[in-house]
Chains A and B, each alone.
Chain A
Amino acid sequence: MVQSLNRLKESPSQTAGPYVHIGLTPNFCGIPGVFEEDLGARMVNDKTKGERITVRTRVFDGTGTPLKDALIEIWQADSDGLYNSPSELRGQADPNFTGWGRKPTDMVSGECVFETIKPGRAPFKDGRMMAPHISFWIVARGINLGLQTRMYFSDEEAANAEDPVLARIEHRLRVPTLIAEHKGGGVYEFDIHLQGDRETVFFDI
């Protein structure tokens, strides 16, 4: 035997289950009056700096059926590439932008819509700039540990080409699974496939 490192183990994850909305978006699922509004519902206000965009996303299972009971959280930099977090030491992020959003997928269509801004670029560990991206965290019934991925932008080809994270993807035909399609008018569509030929790249971060 050797001495113990005296570290604790992280609490093991469990699925969020089908009723995750009760806890995380109670107003959405018909439990009004407990919280004023669902946390993460609004990311921007009238004073938020940057280009307004709409992110429309759906999550598909291994048969191609959209999940209607998923919950998605996103986290992103402001238009200058700064995060609204105490751990951001490079400068003061836009105080009118939360950087964090939370939405359930629609119970009929499976669609999930975020009204946000296009993020600026932030540096990788070695100082190279990452392309603009939004971090995603997906939980649902049937998902035992939240899935982490990133959304990049189809109209940022040059930045995407030099992004150090996208560069890590060995199978290049999988890179497009992380790139949202610009539909014009600031609308981006990002389809997430949990499984199969078009499976989205998920990260162990």
Chain B
Amino acid sequence: MPADKTPNGNPETGAFFQRDRLWHPPAFTPTYKTSVLRSPQKALLSLDNTISEITGPVFGHDMLGELDNDLIHNFAKPGESAIGERIIVYGRVLDERGKGVPGALLEFWQANAGGRYRHKKEGYIAALDPNFGGCGRTIADEDGNYAFRTIKPGPYPWPNGVNDWRPAHIHFSVFGHGFAQRLITQMYFEGDPLIWLCPIVRTIPDRAAIETLIAALDMQATIPMDARAYKFDIVLRGRRSSLFENRLEGN
């Protein structure tokens, strides 16, 4: 999949828009306890993008296996499937200019329907599902569209406060066209009351920013008698024109 093209057919090579670090969570968020010792205390050094940041690897659809975007089946024994609420998660990967990001690599991971992760460091008493691994990936099409099937994850208790529970969530890792676009985030589900209690959600200072991480139930994309659908769009950093391709109208 080629990187996004300029009107003259060349790949885009401009610097990325500056990150709004008042919109993202700050590093030091003490109600999320682990951040206390893992947050830099000195100021970041601002650096306009060089070629080391505006470039990045691009992944081809040919690397994908047939079931990479089907978490209901990609770990299941033949003829079996994961237990839980069957859902489709779909959306678009856009940049801040509203342009689709073709070829974006999306990777996702999650707990099973009971909130149990398949990970050796995890000891929650809820049972593993023998037919659920919890990982998947896909690559956005030429317009930035993506979709995958999974089961809806359950909420999950964690040792932060004495009685803290994560809302149901799916972790997303997204790769655009430049290393500086690299982003990891989490998707939440419309209507979940745990969202507004969660110290990790609330590392994000702005309620409007949090709302952009809440996927909407979409009955029109739901497949009757099969799976409900949730829509989740993801926005990566936009990029400026590079000097030699500058047009007055910009982009």
CA distance A29 to B157 in the complex (A): 21
Interface residues in A57-89 (C-beta closer than 8 Å to B): 61-63, 67, 69, 73, 75-77, 83-89
* CB closest residue in chain A, given B109: A23
A-B contact count (CB 8 A): 275
**Is B47 in contact with A14, judged by CB distance below 8 angstroms?**
no
CA distance A75 to B48 in the complex (A): 17
Interface SS of A by simple majority: loop
Q: B21 within 8 Å of A by Cβ?
A: yes
> Size class of A's contact patch?
35 or more
- Chain B residues whose C-beta falls within 8 Å of the C-beta of A145 in the assembled complex: 21, 24-25, 27
Q: A3 within 8 Å of B by Cβ?
A: no
CA distance A26 to B160 in the complex (A): 25
Identify which of B78-86, B141-149, B181-189, B216-224 touches chain A.
Answer: B181-189
CA distance A7 to B185 in the complex (A): 20
- Chain B residues whose C-beta falls within 8 Å of the C-beta of A20 in the assembled complex: 109, 171, 184
- Chain A residues whose C-beta falls within 8 Å of the C-beta of B171 in the assembled complex: 14, 16-17, 19-20, 23
- Chain B residues whose C-beta falls within 8 Å of the C-beta of A73 in the assembled complex: 182
Knowing A14-B184, A144-B29, A165-B50, the reply to whether A62 touches B38 (Cβ < 8 A) is yes
A196 nearest CB across to chain B (Å): 7
B24 nearest CB across to chain A (Å): 5
Interface residues in A17-46 (C-beta closer than 8 Å to B): 17-24, 26, 29-31, 33-36, 39
- Chain A residues whose C-beta falls within 8 Å of the C-beta of B25 in the assembled complex: 12-14, 144-145
**Is A87 in contact with B57, judged by CB distance below 8 angstroms?**
no
Q: A107 within 8 Å of B by Cβ?
A: yes
Q: A194 within 8 Å of B by Cβ?
A: yes
**Is A24 in contact with B234, judged by CB distance below 8 angstroms?**
no
CA distance A73 to B178 in the complex (A): 13
Interface residue ranges, B against A (CB under 8 Å): 2-3, 10-13, 17-21, 23-27, 29, 32, 34-42, 44-59, 63, 65, 67-68, 74-75, 94-98, 107-110, 117-122, 133-137, 171, 173, 177-180, 182-186, 200-201, 203-204, 206, 209-210, 212-213, 234-238
Closest 6 pairs between A and B when the two form their complex, measured CB to CB:
A23-B109, A142-B34, A85-B55, A142-B38, A86-B3, A144-B25
Name 11 extra pairs, CB < 8 A, besides A22-B117, A200-B40: A8-B238, A15-B35, A18-B121, A61-B37, A62-B41, A122-B50, A124-B50, A142-B34, A142-B35, A194-B39, A196-B41
